[in-house]
Amino acid sequence: MNTLIVTNIGTIVSGDIATPITPGDNIVIRDGVIVSVGSATGVEGVVVDAGGATVMPGLCDNHVHPVIGDYTPRQSQVGFIESCLHGGVTTMISAGEPHTPGRPKDPAGVKALTILAHKSFTNLRPSGVKVRAGAVMLEPGLVESDFAEMASEGVHLVAEIGISGVKDPAEAAQMTRWAQSHGMRVMVHTGGASIPGSGVIGADFVVKVQPDVAGHANGGPTALPLSDVETILEETDARVEVVHNGNVKAAGDVAALLSERGELQRLVIGTDSPAGSGVQPLGMLRTMSWVASLGAVDPAVAVGCATGNVAEMHGLNTGVIAPGREGDLVIADAPLGSQATDALGALAIGDTPAVAGVIIDGAILVRKSRNTPPPVRTIRFPA
């Protein structure tokens, strides 16, 4: 049996916004699965001494545009997923693979690409990161049996609607019903146009389609009016997403609106990367800091919006630190020089926390982030 014990933890952030802090100072992972949180004693195994730092669930980026493997044609960049691992990301959810060179737009081609992306990332985790890909781009001509076939091959995502060929809300709503009836999660692009071929989408479209999530409500990159976000909250059951590749001020405004309404369980965080603004390895941490600092959201709850809320929407067994969950953790701290004294304090004042370690399925994959400043505290890893 393979046992990893993280000891001497200052704060355990659970990822569950109902109870965002878990008391105690240690976490035990056995054969990749969390078996104890808070108060284990006398456990034998490999020890990571967190030195009083904060431990949170591995971050789950709700909005990524991968293609195949760890390369993005969007910015001609190799290793972008590995770079995000160094920003604390352990799970990525595809919002579509529109950057695929020569992307087919006929039903057979769309299905083939979606199934290929899904199976490719199922067989290969770049640098250990769990990439849930194969998000079908809706194109005219797809019929219900196509969704049944894709679902039977493991596909569970519809790419953000609005950036592909289906633009008519009635057609989008019909395909959304088919997809959801086969267990898929559906995102609608909202706000201004992102790339040539995409359009401007407001609350009326989202209300007609009734998706599972209104993508980048703070803009991708241009934001909706806040009144449209309010309409989406009132007239749909959709989650609302804020992303790094959006409007910074609107990220705070959307988070504050959800907080005021007592609906932070509907807030999910992503990056929308790679994008025109680049690859953002620290995009999750930075967006969490906007939600906490500009939206005045409890920073431990902001962590939950980037972990447990995303996992819950997609039915993933990660994103929360609790027995039975996959052993995906980030050890984080105040960055050296910050006016804050720990990771949550850093988020609260708008600083990007230091990533001091990343663990996936109980395996230590990052011992020092190459992308964040160093932590204030000393974290000791096994030799």
Residues lying near Zn ion in the complex (CB under 5 A) are found at 160, 189, 194, 220
Q: Which of 195, 197, 202 is nearest to 221 (CA)?
A: 195
By beta-carbon proximity to Zn ion, the closer residue of 267 and 344 is 267
Rounded Cα–Cα distance for residues 78 and 58 (Å): 22
Residue type, 80: F
By beta-carbon proximity to Zn ion, the closer residue of 30 and 208 is 208
By beta-carbon proximity to Zn ion, the closer residue of 132 and 189 is 189
Shortest CB 110 distance to Zn ion, Å:
18
By beta-carbon proximity to Zn ion, the closer residue of 160 and 342 is 160
Q: 362 near 31, Cβ under 8 Å?
A: yes
By beta-carbon proximity to Zn ion, the closer residue of 14 and 62 is 62
DSSP code per residue over 82-131: HHHHTTTEEEEEES--TTSTT---SHHHHHHHHHHHHHHHHH--GGG-EE
Shortest CB 192 distance to Zn ion, Å:
9
Rounded Cα–Cα distance for residues 113 and 262 (Å): 40
CA–CA distances in Å: residue 67 to residues 96, 117, 122, 157: 9, 7, 13, 15
Shortest CB 333 distance to Zn ion, Å:
33
By beta-carbon proximity to Zn ion, the closer residue of 217 and 255 is 217
| Residues sharing a CB contact under 8 Å with residue 263, sequence separation 6 or more, in sequence order | 233
Shortest CB 28 distance to Zn ion, Å:
40
By beta-carbon proximity to Zn ion, the closer residue of 220 and 274 is 220
Euclidean distance between the first and final Cα of the chain, in Å?
Answer: 19
Rounded Cα–Cα distance for residues 92 and 245 (Å): 15
Residue with tokens 């267990």, as numbered in its chain: 183
By beta-carbon proximity to Zn ion, the closer residue of 162 and 362 is 162
Shortest CB 190 distance to Zn ion, Å:
8
Q: What angle do CA 16, 355, 299 make, to 5 degrees?
A: 35
Q: Is 160 helix (H, G, I), strand (E, B) or coil?
A: strand
Q: 208 near 234, Cβ under 8 Å?
A: no
